[in-house]
Structure 1
Amino acid sequence: MPAVWSRATVVREPSGRRRRTRSTPLRAFLGIVLALALLTTMPVTSASAQPVQPGKGSTLVHTTLGPIVGRDEGRSSGTYSWLGIPYAEPPVGDLRWRPPKPHRPWVQARRTQQYGSGCAQPGRFFSPSPNGPFYDLAVRDGLQQPVGAEDCLTLNIFRPSTAKRDLPVVFFIHGGSNVVGYSADPMYDGRELARRAQAIVVTVNYRTGIFGWLNAGSAGDDSLSASGNFGTLDLVDALRFVDRNARTFGGDPDNITVMGQSAGAVNVWSLLVSPLSRAMVDKAIPLSGGLSTRSVAVARAYADRVMQAAESDHPSSGRSGMDLLRSLSADDLVRVLVRHQLDATPAVIADGAVIPSDPYAVLESGVGRDVPVLAGNTLEEGKLFGSAVGAHKPSDYDRFTAQYLFDPDNPGNLTVSDLLKDDYLPVDKPQGWNDAAGALTEAVFTGINRDSLNALARSGNRSLYHYRFDWNQEPAPFDQVYGAVHAIDLPFVFGTFGRTVFSYAFSQQNQPGRLRLSNLMIESVRNFVHEGSPQHRGLGRTWEQWPTSLVLDADDRHVRLGSTTDR
């Protein structure tokens, strides 16, 4: 009879890898009894995960929920992919603002060959198109409009089409202020990273904005429902699915790297400190984000404002409070938030159950001491947020159009003054655009990154690495308007230089240098997820540990590496 393992008995070895320990005899006996009882009540399914057979042209996989059939991407890609795998029941109806409910198993093979819908959200630059989970010119038509759907809890898995087993797993969480974003963004296409890093790459949807984080203090709720951290709980559930099914896809469940960018990085840190997930995090790659939470008091005050706004917009409904919010469609709820400028939802909430009340104290206590961390920032993070300080001259609609249609190989006559207001020009004057964006970079990004890494360092973690991304070789005028802007390192990490929100930046002229830089970055990610260090021979120098940062840059033809120290 196979050994029965305790649900959360996990021991970290000195390398940071996890090994599961056997349950006590009593727990083992109870586990067997429970398993037998479930077998008599559950429908007959392929519940025992059977591994994919790489190299045989078949993408039929038997997961713990049921069989799925993915896509063989062909020789040009060298990968298999499974898209839109549901990991939880749709959070609709009575399941809105509830913890994710385990998805019902299925018997027939499910086709997982198309991305699932992005989660319901107000449209922004990094939102899906109103046409579906796509990036196209129609994204501009969804700006400040409801896009996505509540039925969205899906994930995507990519792996090399080889016979290799026990590959490291990369679990990637998209950014978007925990308000917008979607796993089907072409920047996060995991095929190239999976092939070149020789890893299983997972990208995941989770509830965003008010659907993901709302603490209304409802009486009688269980601790998870009362927490308001539904987006966090989605990620915990998705990570649990990956942990249970990693071997099915040829991955190693004891070597899972949780990676995220911006709000996704905030969520990486949250998973690292949460008692529900931290045993499943073996390594971490948080990019442009740190450990950041909001208090229960702030979250409840926000919920009160949302309820008041909804009541003012729907006075004849005969409903009020949470009863009214539950009765509104997702689109109507988003319209309320946009109309009253309430779409910046407080997240993540330090509720004391899902997220510790004092998460920094938990971090310093040694929870992540054995977790290697590779963090990163871009030099000019703040230049993405000109709208926040009124620096952009065109509307978001017109700016999106100009960037989408811009041909980096034929720049035309677009100028800096077409995109930035005169108050911020020239960009390098005192209090100009560079100074304004620099203040945003420090206040929102580098400061919190510094605090998070320093807390881990105080805990005794001796595997902390950081990079600063300085590449700013975009064609004019974007080299000055955006430069080394927030999130522009992602195409370099994923190897995705096709049509994305950053397509304006990638010209034939700068291709040799940026591809060489991307190659070095992907190789560093590969070495990190395999070995716990980003160091590799191709760098030609030592990647020192935090507080020293490796500076990543390139001109049009050559990589330029340096270092800087942040105390």
Structure 2
Amino acid sequence: MSVSVSTPCGEIIGIQCDGYQEFRGIPYAEQPIGVARFKAPEPLLPFEEPFKAERFGDAAPQENIPFFGIEQTSEDCLYLNIWSPACDNKKRPVMVWIHGGGFVTGASSQVIYKGRELAVNGDVVVVTLNYRLGALGFLYLNDLLPDEYEVSANNGLLDQIEALKWIKKNIESFGGNPNQITLFGESAGAWSIATLLASPLATGLFQRAILQSGGADQVLTHSEATEITRRFLKAADIDATKPEKLWQLSTSQIIKAQQACFKHEINRGAFGQPVMQTGITLLPVIDGVSVSQQPLSAIRNGDVGHIPLMVGCTRDEWNLFLNMPGVNRVANTDNAEDMGKLDLINRCETSLPGMGERAANLYQKRFQQNNTDVSYSDIFSAFESDRMFRIPSLRIAEQQSKHSEQVFMFQFNWDKGPLKACHASDIPFVFGHTGTTAGQFLTGGGDDSAKLSATVQSCWIAFARSGDPSTDRVGKWTAFNQDSRQVMCFDTKTGLQEDPFQGTAPLWENVL
């Protein structure tokens, strides 16, 4: 059965389901193809005929990772999906999901992101969206190409902003409140949200934000971004003074050429101490237009103190990258299972020059004092989990709490899946998908994981509704601040813990 909705952009026909309505593959901008390949998205023209929103739109071009289950990709990828209990005038809270994938993979149509359970259980409207990835979304051409080509920086981020503009304009027709929009996202989705907090172009487009396994330090300077672009152009055999070939490359050629970008090393250190990163290098750039400063600086300065935040991570983030084929490009994983102490030191030194031995000794002491079965691979995973996700999440909470009393930290400690509390293991709990194939792999599945999912959903929904994630299931969720460093830890027994970062956080002072 179908359902028809009249919106400011025209009539949209979706799917009437039992207890909810679903709209798949709604375009939110004009197709970024042809001469528009490296330009900002153009606002969508109103539909002349009713648009059938019955199939998901194509994902952005990307490498094939079987675990993700993404089949159809193309440059015509700017689509969003909506789940609503009813397209009425109730003005429900709106939750907008931005997917992760290191800015090079992922799609809003992945099974693990389907929003039915969250929408129905919370009486909220759930939106998921695509955006341009890799070189198509984040290649910084502005300082190398002549002005006549009118390329734009941060196109993937501009796509997200254009989607939010569409949502704010049209979501009331789907039963949502355009003035009660909560962004939530994981990994690159959370990095995106942090960057949107610092973007003057996103001001007023959302009121709350939930950052899962993210940080506010994943942006590039002009010089870093330009050097990465030079590597791409060289790999694609393109002369920057005669760049017409850029618009002739096939998507497979673009994906192949962007591999050269991943080999470049960037420094994420905010205090002069090198913190080196490869693999994830096609990132937003501080261009002075869409991104005016480092996101953490905007948070530190109090520019977004009026926006309530939830921020957190999973305990064993890096386990995913050490063990999952296809997603381990960002990790130094060769022979990790055979790692010895010297290997640990060397790997820590690669990521944190000049501090490798100190880091290895600290993490070994921290994680072997109560568990003699911990391997050097486990220790390295803990180190990298902190470097990439846990400490950056902590920095957001620390800085935002200086300006706001609505900062709430969380950590997922549930470790019943084969990779323990790994990166992305929080997603099935949030979306209510612990029983799916991917959900069972990440969480272990079963009745207890389903019960924890209900608890997690209640908190996310409460925050979207009021800015406070406290619920009957978890009790009063005390806000995070320097005096009360309370973190809600989701596990077999969920509850607040005092500063679970304290054992290793001192290593990162004045570093990240």
Q: TM-score range by the shorter chain?
A: 0.7 to 0.9
Q: Distance in 1 between matches of 2:202 and 2:465?
A: 21
Change (3 A) 1:324 1:526: same
Q: 1:553 aligns with which of 445, 468, 491?
A: 491
Matches of residues 69-88 of structure 1 in structure 2 within 5 Å?
69-74=13-18, 78-88=19-29
Matched, 1:470 2:407: no
**Separation of aligned partners in 1, 2:398 and 2:178:** 28
Confirm or deny: 8 A CA contact 1:86 1:153 kept in the other structure: yes
Structure 1 unaligned blocks of 5 or more: 1-56, 133-147, 387-391, 400-418
Shift of 1:462: 1.0
The amino acid across from 1:259 in the alignment is: F
What are the within-5 Å matches in structure 2 for residues 479-518 of structure 1? Answer: 482-505=419-442, 511-518=446-453
| Compared CA separation, residues 541 and 369, structure 1 to 2 (3 A) | closer
Q: How does 1:307-386 map to 2 (within 5 A)?
A: 307-311=233-237, 322-338=243-259, 344-386=280-322
Partner of 1:202: 127
Q: Which amino acid aligns with 2:41?
A: P
User: Could you tell me which residue of structure 2 aligns to residue 521 of structure 1?
Assistant: 456
Distance 2:252 2:79 in 1: 20
Cα deviation 1:375-430 (Å, max 9, x = unaligned): 121000111111xxxxx5x9659x9xxxxxxxxxxxxxxxxxxx973337999656
Secondary structure at the aligned position of 1:203 is classed as strand
Q: Could you report, residue by residue, the CA deviation over 1:344-388 in whole angstroms, capped at 9, with x for unpaired residues?
A: 4431111111001343332233321111111121000111111xx
C-alpha contact 1:80 1:160 (8 A) present in aligned 2: yes
1:135 alignment counterpart = none
Tell me the equivalent position of 1:91.
32
- Offset at residue 322 of structure 1 (A): 2.9
Aligned length: 446
SS in 2 for 1:59: strand
Residue in 2 that maps onto 1:300: 226
SS of 2:204 mapped into structure 1: helix
- Give me the whole-angstrom Cα distance separating, in 1, the residues matched to 2:459 and 2:290: 32
**What amino acid is aligned across from residue 215 of structure 1 in structure 2?**
Y
Match of 2:386 in 1: 442
| Aligned Cα root-mean-square deviation (Å) | 2.7
Q: State the match for 1:54 in structure 2.
A: none
Identity among equivalent positions (%) equals 28
Q: Distance in 1 between matches of 2:405 and 2:260?
A: 48
SS across alignment from 2:282: coil
The alpha carbon displacement at 1:487 in A equals 0.8
Counterpart CA distance in 1 for 2:438 and 2:241 is: 40
Say yes or no: does 1:159 pair with 2:97: no
The amino acid of 1:196's aligned partner reads N
Deviations 1:156-185 (A, max 9, x none): 011114856110011110000111100011
Residues 467, 550 of structure 1: 8 Å contact kept:
yes
Paired residue for 1:67? Answer: 11
Distance in structure 2 (CA, Å) of the matches to 1:226 and 1:333: 16
Q: 1:251 to 1:533 in 2, by over 3 A?
A: same
Matching residue of 1:192: 117
Q: What residue in structure 2 maps to residue 53 of structure 1?
A: none
Deviations along 1:73-121, whole A, 9 cap, x unmatched?
A: 22xxx21111100011111110011000112222211110111111011
CA distance in 2 between counterparts of 1:395 and 1:247 reads 42
| C-alpha distance after superposition, 1:36-79 (max 9, x if no partner) | xxxxxxxxxxxxxxxxxxxxx862112222211001122xxx21
Once residues 180 and 88 of structure 2 are traced to their aligned partners in structure 1, the CA distance between those partners, rounded to angstroms, is 18
CA apart distance, 1:271: 1.2
User: Structure 1 residues 149-158 or 341-350, which shifts more?
Assistant: 341-350
- After superposition, what is the alpha-carbon deviation per residue over 1:257-303, rounded to whole angstroms, capped at 9, x for unaligned? 01111010011111112111121120001110011211111111111
Q: Is the 1:128–1:181 Cα contact (8 Å) retained in structure 2?
A: no
Task: Using the TM superposition, give the Cα deviation of residue 319 of structure 1 relative to its aligned residue in structure 2, in angstroms.
Answer: 9.4
Query: Is the Cα contact below 8 Å between 1:428 and 1:435 reproduced in 2?
Result: no
| Residue 505 to residue 175, structure 1, CA distance change in 2 (3 Å) | closer
Call closer, same or farther: CA 1:382–1:428 in 2, change over 3 Å.
farther
Cα distance between partner residues in 2 of 1:428 and 1:121: 41
Q: How does 1:227-246 map onto structure 2 within 5 Å?
A: 228-246=153-171
Shift of 1:126: 5.9
Structure 1 residue 450: deviation in Å? 1.6
Alignment correspondent of 2:377: 433
CA contact (8 A) 2:86 2:175 kept: no
- For the pair shown, which has the larger CA radius of gyration, 1 or 2? 1
What is the match of residue 114 of structure 1? 55
- Alpha-carbon distance in 2 for matches of 1:491, 1:319: 44
Q: CA deviation at 1:563?
A: 1.1
Identify unmatched segments of 5+ residues in structure 2. 264-278, 329-334, 342-367, 503-512
- Cα distance in 2, alignment partners of residues 178 and 302 from structure 1: 15
